[in-house]
């Protein structure tokens, strides 16, 4: 897994000037691609059967979660709903509001399985599944600044190049962890955090890094 480093440029933040890690996310694998991956790993079922099962999961799982029913897929984890608040209400307002007035959205959350040797919470997942190496130094840059609609692009400098330019060494910093399960494929997700609930991120690295 490639790890990028991004500099915190928010001068009002305690982490200003420091570099923080983020996963170098690759192209998302489609359902068909995931089914092929499963078949290539020794599935006894043909790809069309595997695709059919996966498609049924994508239909039924949201249906159950929409009814407030958490779905546990052992030993992966549990999918469950949480409500995003639109506003708080006073006791006196309750006779005149509906759930749609107070709920802005419903999130489908994922909580990794965390039982004994099947634990895949963040630290265990890193230790058992991931081999980490630095990939890029990422820096945001605004383009078309003179136009009405400037946009931001992400410049990615290979970590080895950055090290040579700044320290005269090409040390890539690889080998930081050991993958004891190399046959198990991971996903491409870079979001979600360590906790299943809550809508707001914390920590000094969570500030605006431009």
Of residues 148 and 182, more confidence is placed in 148
d(CA 78, CA 104): 23
Could you give the CA distance from residue 133 to residue 138 in angstroms, rounded to a whole number?
A: 15
Among candidates 161, 200, 193, which has minimal Cα distance to 5? 161
Give the residue among 42, 21, 8, 1 at the shortest CA–CA distance from 130: 1
Report yes or no: 184 and 125 within 8 Å, Cβ to Cβ.
no
CB of 12 within 8 A of CB of 1? no
Residue 142, number of CB atoms within 10 A of its CB: 10
Whether 189 shows a pLDDT value over 50: the answer reads: no
> In angstroms, rounded to a whole number, what is the distance separating the alpha carbons of residues 84 and 106?
6
pLDDT beyond 50 at 179 = no
Q: Which of 44-53, 105-114, 158-167, 173-182 has the lowest mean pLDDT?
A: 173-182
Distance set, CA 205 to CA 15, 21, 173, 190 (Å): 6, 9, 21, 15
3-state secondary structure 176-209: CCCCCCCCCCCCCCCCCCCCCCCCCCCCHHHCCC
Compute the distance between CA of residue 63 and CA of residue 20 in angstroms, rounded to an integer.
Answer: 38
| Residue 192 pLDDT > 50 | no
Question: Is the separation of the CB atoms in 135 and 2 below 8 Å?
Answer: yes
Check whether 205 has a pLDDT greater than 50.
no
Burial (CB < 10 A; 0-12, 13-18, 19+), residue 62, is middle
pLDDT at 117: 62
Question: How does the average pLDDT of the chain come out, rounded?
Answer: 82
pLDDT in tens, 30-48: 999 999 999 999 889 999 9
Residue 55 has a pLDDT of 96
Residue 3 has pLDDT above 80, yes or no: yes
Both structure tokens of 52: 């059919």
Question: pLDDT tens, 36-80?
Answer: 999 999 889 999 999 999 999 999 999 999 999 999 998 889 999
Tell me the C-alpha distance between 160 and 169, whole Å. 8
Distance from C-alpha of 208 to C-alpha of 175, rounded to nearest angstrom: 30
């Amino acid at each position: 897994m490639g790890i990028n480093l991004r500099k915190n440029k928010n001068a009002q933040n305690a982490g200003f000037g420091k570099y923080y890690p983020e996963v170098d996310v690759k192209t998302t694998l489609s359902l068909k691609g995931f089914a092929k991956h499963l078949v290539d790993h020794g599935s006894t079922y043909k790809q069309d059967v595997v695709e059919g099962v996966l498609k049924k999961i994508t239909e039924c799982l949201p249906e159950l979660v929409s009814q407030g029913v958490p779905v546990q897929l052992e030993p992966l984890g549990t999918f469950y709903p949480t409500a995003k608040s639109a506003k708080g209400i006073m006791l006196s307002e309750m006779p005149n509001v509906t759930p749609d007035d107070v709920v802005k959205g419903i999130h489908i959350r994922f909580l990794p399985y965390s039982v004994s040797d099947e634990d895949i919470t963040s630290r265990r997942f890193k230790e058992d599944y991931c081999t980490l190496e630095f990939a890029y130094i990422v820096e945001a840059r605004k383009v078309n600044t003179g136009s009405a609609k400037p946009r931001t692009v992400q410049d990615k400098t290979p970590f080895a190049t950055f090290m040579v330019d700044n320290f005269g060494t090409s040390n890539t910093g690889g080998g930081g962890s050991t993958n004891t399960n190399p046959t198990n494929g991971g996903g491409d997700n870079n979001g979600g955090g360590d906790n299943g609930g809550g809508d707001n991120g914390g920590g000094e690295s969570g500030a605006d890094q431009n």
